[in-house]
Structures are given as C-alpha cells and as structure tokens.
Amino acid sequence: MRDGVKLRADIYRPKTDDKVPAIIMWGPYGKSGNGILNLHLFPLRAGIPQSKLSGYENFEGLDPAEWVPKGYAVINIDPRGINDSEGDFYWWGTQDGRDGHDAVEEIAKLPWCTGKVSMAGNSWLGMSQWYIAAETPPHLTCIAPLEGAGDVIREDLCRGGILNLGFMSTIQNTLRGRNNQEDVAATIQQSQTTNEYWEDKRAKLDKIEVPAYILGSYSTGLHTLGAIRAYEEIKHERKWLTIHDTQEWYDLYSEQRIQDLEKFFARYLKGENNGWEETPSVRVSFLGFNIPSVPYKGFPDLPWRLPNTRSRRLYLTAENKLSVTKPNSASSIVYQADAPSRLTGENDNELHFFFRFSEQTILTGPSRVVIHISAPHNDDLDVYAQIGKADEDGNLLQNNNIPLSALGVSTSSEIPPIKPLKYLGPQGIIRASRRDVSEKLSTPYWKTLSNAKIEPVPPGKAIQLENYIWPTGIIFQPGEQLVLKISGHDMTLAELEVLVDSFKNGNKGTHELHVGGHFDSYLDVYTL
C-alpha cells in the first residue's frame, strides 16, 4: 500500500505464457471457502451443493476453478488488518477505497497481467467496489458489484433512524486479524446524528467512471436499495442493472449468472465485440409467490420511472381496507406498539389493510405510506410498514427464494424462516424523531433521511409520517390481494438464524393511527 503496509493475497492464474486479465475479490472472510464464513454455516447451504465449488473461492466471490479456465486470473485479497494482512481493519470508506486502488495498480504491474483489472463479488465484496472504484485506479477496467449496500448508516446500521446492530455486530465479532478493528457498532451508539465519519461511509457513486455490472434482488434487507441507487447515480451510460428472483449466493454460482458475467468480462477485459452493449440497461424479475416468477424483463430504465407505469394511491380505512377513494368520516385505530418481535414475520399486534386486484397487476419499485399517528404517552415512536401478498381468501403468502429441489426439501414448511430463504415482502421503517429529510440526497420517488437532527414528538400529538418502503416486484393475479401491514416492530425475517431473538423493540405503550376525514392516510404504489 502507499503507506508501506503489506496485504496478503492468493493468486490463481492459467498455465500459459500469454498475459491474462485479472479479477479481484476484496473481502474480510478469508481467502478461501474454508475461511471465517462459508456456506457450511448456513441452512441447507443456500441450495449450493459442496460439489459445485472447489473450495478455493473467497466466500461470496467467484470460484477460481470456474474462471481461471476461461482465461482470467482470480485474486483473493485479505484487506488491511484481516488475518495476516498488516495494519488495522477499516469498514469501507476512504481508507478501504485507497487500499483497493493501490492493490489494483500492484496487480496490473505483475508480468503475467495484461494491465486490465476488474473486481467482483457479493455483499461485502460488492460494497467495497463502490469505494475502490470511486478512487479511480487507472488500471481498473470494469466492476461487477453483485449486490452491495452503498450507505452504511442509512441502509444498514440506522435504517429509518432506528439502530439495528444485530447483524453488523455478529459480523464484527466474527472477523479475525493481528491488530485492531474499527468498531462501527460502538461508534454509532455514540453518534446521535450523522457526521463526517459516517458520511465517508456513504459511497460516492457519482465518481465511478468504469463500466458496471450491477446486481440486486429482493431477498435481502441489506443491499436492494444500494444496487438501485448505484444505477441511478453512476453518471455514465455503461452501466447495467439486473434484479434477479432468487437469493444472492445461490444466484452467484448459477449458470445464468456465470454466462452473463462471462459476456460482460469478455467485452471489457478481453476487448471482444460480443454485442454486450445491446443488453437492456435494466432487467427486472417479478416474484410470483404462489405462481411462477417472471425473470429478467428488459427495460430502458428503472420501470417505475417510465411513462407507461402507473402511480396509484390507496387510502387506509377504519375497516382495514385500502380504498381508491378517500373515506369521508374520521376514525382511529389503536395497536400495541411495544409488542415483542421474534423476527418471524408473525405477530398479532399488527394492523392489516387489504386491497383486491380486479386484473393482473405488477407492483414495481418503491412505495410510500403517508400516515397520521400519535403515541399517547411518549415523545417518540417507531413505525414499521410492510407490503405483502395474500390469496383470494386473505391468507398471507411467502416467496421461496431458492427452488425446493435445490434445497433438497419437498415443502416450504421445511425451509427455515430467514431472509435468504424466504421473502415476505418489502418493508419501510421510520423513527418519528429522525424524520427530517435530506433534499440533496432524495429523488422524486425516494426521500432519504438526513440523520442530521432529532425532533421529539409531543405526547398525544398526531403527526404526519412519510414511510418509504424498499423497492420490490410482485405479481398479483385477479382476485389476489395486496396487504399493507403497520406495526411497532420489525415484520421481516432475520438475516441469520442466530438473530431470530435479537430484535429490541424501542417503542412504549400504544400507537393511535388516524384515518379518514381530514386525516389523509394513504399508500402510494407503482404498478405495471
């Protein structure tokens, strides 16, 4: 590195005298499938049989045994502070970006390398690419961030203004190295509002200059928004966004992903004129839940930004319906806000509002819930909103993210209830005292919280909250129902089995939701 620190790397390359391009995996889990984290630790191995992989792959990275025979060198690097790499470990941001810049340039100078270098990988391996590419290393030729959040505080640790440390703390306590590790969990608990430290961990996506193969899915509570924001904020046109219909690890080693990536890498790392640029800029999959999904439908832009997409407003009623017309009479509904959540997605202390479709409809993109709500005896409140799908009889449905046959089970009931394996629908969360919006960071259909100030709510006062629900893609057949759920606790599933009992509810007492009359409470959605 530029300060003399040495990083450790494993390099796999073809047995040839010809120079080859390189693909870097940059992540903290160890340089092989036997590292700190691996698929053995996850239920049913996420549908990926052990025989599918060589064991040389970095967790969440490309398998050298797959890609070296295709004419690429694969480099698995332990970042600063991980295992025997020197220095202290940093969680993304400028330091990580500069180290990645220097690593790209060192690899490009090696005698076997053509000087063309890319990066690839899921999750952490995807997130790190935002920061490294923003440093514009001269020999970085393209990137393939396969699902990666882009704002550590707003999309992960403090989404909606509510601290959620369970997942990050678990990862933090898993990582190993010889020296010190940046303690993001402790730091955010000391940060009442955002500051220079946290803004450094919001990726500067507009600085990325190289072609980008961006991947996303709905089956994670970590990366969906980051993938979409990257497509929006990268300024050039050599960017492609694909939202697939499965789970990220299962997708990474699928034939569909391997073939697609091979065409992308061949175009930019080998210079082949293979027609890659004719690939639709955006390919979106839509989930069926109880019917087959529709994969990879091509669009010239994000579908909810296209003129033929409809914006629909549905009003909340006291009869637990979503209506196309605003109710005339005012009413209110009370729910127990401090009810515990086991992150199983099931709890009686939730309000459910139903809307029945008369024709086939596809819900796409983000949604917005505007509600008027009060906490009778407290000066703050956390509100969670989730969109789900129900059948004609009102039974809530779940989407399996991995085919049953790949998991080796015959029924959905045999699949553990965690986010990687099951999808209930997208969720939006907001803490009332953190409702201040950053207009600079927002778009017409997504308001980003500033995290810059705290505004307590007078007890008993009804305030208007805008709660933005993460992007999704769900198919509804005639007679099937959209379900809007509102509560005081997380209604999604846990990312990991060990986190099922970790959720801490920050509410106290009850919430009173006001609907109808002069209380204009509604759900805005985009449909195809």
Confidence bin at 37 (pLDDT 50/70/90) = confident
Reference 446, options 366, 383, 387; nearest CA is 366
What are 271's two structure tokens?
């210079």
- Do the beta carbons of residue 47 and residue 219 sit within 8 Å? no
Flag whether the pTM goes above 0.85.
yes
Q: What is the pLDDT of residues 249-278, one digit of tens each?
A: 999 999 999 999 999 999 999 999 999 999
Residues 444 and 486 in one domain: yes
Average pLDDT over residues 333-353: 81
In a domain, 404, yes or no: yes
Stretch (H or E) spanning 64: helix 64-67
| pLDDT on residue 354 | 98
* Separation of alpha carbons 208 and 148, rounded Å: 15
Neighbours of 65 (CB within 10 A): 14
Neighbours of 275 (CB within 10 A): 9
**What is the side-by-side strand order in the sheet with 294-299?**
8-12, 73-78, 20-26, 113-122, 140-146, 212-216, 239-243, 282-286, 294-299
Residue 231 scores a pLDDT above 80: yes
In a domain, 301, yes or no: no
- Do the beta carbons of residue 438 and residue 391 sit within 8 Å? no
Residues 317 and 198 in one domain: no
Higher pLDDT pick, 13 / 499: 13
Residues 237 and 329 in one domain: no
Residues 23 and 157 in one domain: yes
In angstroms, how far apart are the furthest CA atoms of the chain?
A: 79
Residues 349 and 481 in one domain: yes
R_g over Cα of the chain:
23
In a domain, 288, yes or no: no
In a domain, 369, yes or no: yes
- Do the beta carbons of residue 167 and residue 222 sit within 8 Å? yes
In a domain, 129, yes or no: yes
Q: What is the pLDDT of residues 136-152, one digit of tens each?
A: 999 999 999 999 999 99
Average pLDDT over residues 153-174: 91
Average pLDDT over residues 442-457: 94
Q: Give φ, ψ of 21 to 5 degrees.
A: -75, 165
* Separation of alpha carbons 30 and 134, rounded Å: 24
Residue 422 scores a pLDDT above 80: yes
Neighbours of 79 (CB within 10 A): 25
* Separation of alpha carbons 494 and 420, rounded Å: 9
List, as one string, the DSSP characters of 173-214: TT--BSS-B--HHHHHHH-SS--HHHHTTB--GGG--S-EEE
How many Cα neighbours within 13 Å face the side chain of 184? 26
| pLDDT on residue 472 | 98
Beta strands in 13-151 (DSSP E): 20-26, 73-78, 113-122, 140-146
Neighbours of 478 (CB within 10 A): 11
What single-letter amino acid sits at 45?
A: R
| pLDDT on residue 220 | 87
Range of the domain at 360: 310-527
We report the CATH number of the domain holding residue 433 as: 2.60.120.260
- Number of structural domains in the chain: 2
Residues 183 and 257 in one domain: yes
Residues 243 and 314 in one domain: no
* Separation of alpha carbons 336 and 173, rounded Å: 34
In a domain, 503, yes or no: yes
In a domain, 295, yes or no: no
Residues 243 and 381 in one domain: no
Confidence bin at 247 (pLDDT 50/70/90) = very high
- Do the beta carbons of residue 465 and residue 479 sit within 8 Å? no
Residue 346 scores a pLDDT above 70: no
Q: What is the pLDDT of residues 84-140, one digit of tens each?
A: 999 999 999 999 999 999 999 999 999 999 999 999 999 999 999 999 999 999 999
Residues 103 and 54 in one domain: yes
Reference 230, options 298, 304, 135, 146; nearest CA is 146
Q: What is the pLDDT of residues 5-33, one digit of tens each?
A: 999 999 999 999 999 999 999 999 998 87
Burial 26-46 (b: 16+ CB within 10 A, else e): bbbbbbbbebebbbeebebbb
Residues 243 and 384 in one domain: no
In a domain, 498, yes or no: yes
Residues 316 and 274 in one domain: no
- Do the beta carbons of residue 116 and residue 185 sit within 8 Å? no
- Do the beta carbons of residue 467 and residue 159 sit within 8 Å? no
CA distances from 131 to 231, 452, 455 (A): 15, 23, 32
Burial 453-474 (b: 16+ CB within 10 A, else e): eeeebeeeebbebebbbbbbbb
Higher pLDDT pick, 435 / 221: 435
Reference 416, options 339, 348, 498; nearest CA is 498
Residues 317 and 402 in one domain: yes
Residue 34 scores a pLDDT above 90: no
- The mean predicted confidence, pLDDT, of the chain is 94
Residue 428 scores a pLDDT above 80: yes
We report the CATH number of the domain holding residue 181 as: 3.40.50.1820
* Separation of alpha carbons 207 and 136, rounded Å: 8
229 burial (CB, 10 Å; 0-12 / 13-18 / 19+) is: buried
